[in-house]
Amino acid sequence: MLIVPSIDLLEGQVVRLAQGERSRRTVYAADPLALARRYAEAGADWLHVVDLEGAFAGEPRHEELIGRLCAEAGLPVQVGGGIRTLATARRRLAAGATRVVLGTALVEDPELARAVVEEFGAERVVAALDAKDGRIAIRGWTEVGALVEEVGLRLREAGVIRALHTDVARDGVGLGANIGATARLARACGMHTIISGGVASLEDVHRALACGEPLVEGLIVGRALYEGRFDLPEACRLAHA
């Protein structure tokens, strides 16, 4: 099981948005790179970086800062937020990202999924399958569409092998992750799937390890880490045992 700290960027700072709402932000750190290095030292497996401004604008922001995170954090980095074209994915990967996370673009254009997989390989692409009440949420979670499993199946057919599943209702509010929904999605789509949204404590790590679905390969944690409610070294010890 992989433990993946998240760094969400807005105006150059590390923030969290409650349920994806820009007006409900909390600033946690002014130096994202120093935070990333601490996560690496604590034993994290990956770093998940979200360009929130890019997600809202529909095109990347924070390009210099994310380039430094990829080069200097000491962890493989997956980057999402505003990656909606093949050219943008190409730029993020060329700047040092190990994987790119695409949401809105893949949902609206499955042919883009085929093109990205064909050019970069399936291991470098992650589909962000964010859900509100079981339906896909796109454009910075401002619009809701088809059932998330239906979208996942279309993307699997297009060659995508990995998804990040976020229950928007639990994101940034510390209610605990919806691990059951992530496991069901993994089984339905046949994709390696990462839990996101609401991870609040080591109990979520225990529940993820016990969920019984081998395609659930890790979890992303953000706010609970920022607020000192999640013991990262212990989580890594549990996950790697």
Query: Mean per-residue pLDDT for 162-166?
Result: 95
Strands (DSSP E) along 97-178, which ranges? 99-102, 125-132, 135-138, 143-147, 162-167
pLDDT of residue 104: 80
Reported as a single tens digit per residue, the pLDDT across 58-70 is 788 899 999 999 9
Output the six-digit token pair for 6: 């998240």
Q: Which domain holds residue 153?
A: 2-240
CA distances from 129 to 6, 147, 181, 201 (A): 16, 10, 11, 23
Query: Mean per-residue pLDDT for 65-86?
Result: 95
Query: Mean per-residue pLDDT for 24-45?
Result: 94
Mean pLDDT of the chain: 91
pLDDT of residue 85: 92
Of 8, 45, 51, 204, the active-site residue reads: 8
| CA angle at 108 for the pair 101 and 81, rounded to the nearest 5° | 30
Residues 6+ apart with CB under 8 A from 83: 54, 60, 89, 92, 100, 101, 102, 105
pLDDT category of residue 169 using cuts at 50, 70 and 90: confident
Residue 212 maps to which CATH number? Answer: 3.20.20.70
pLDDT of residue 19: 62
pLDDT of residue 141: 67
Report how many domains make up the chain: 1
Q: Is 130 one of the annotated active-site residues of the chain?
A: yes
Output the six-digit token pair for 107: 């949902």
State the Cα–Cα distance between residues 45 and 239, nearest whole angstrom. 10
Buried b (16+ CB within 10 A) or exposed e, 185-210: bbbbbebbbbbbbbbbbbebbebbee
Q: Which range among 52-61, 139-148, 153-162 has the greatest average pLDDT?
A: 153-162
| Percent of the chain's residues with pLDDT above 90 | 71
pLDDT category of residue 191 using cuts at 50, 70 and 90: very high
Reported as a single tens digit per residue, the pLDDT across 89-138 is 999 999 999 999 998 888 888 789 899 999 999 999 999 998 888 888 87
Of 31, 45, 51, 130, the active-site residue reads: 130
Reported as a single tens digit per residue, the pLDDT across 171-189 is 655 578 999 999 999 999 9
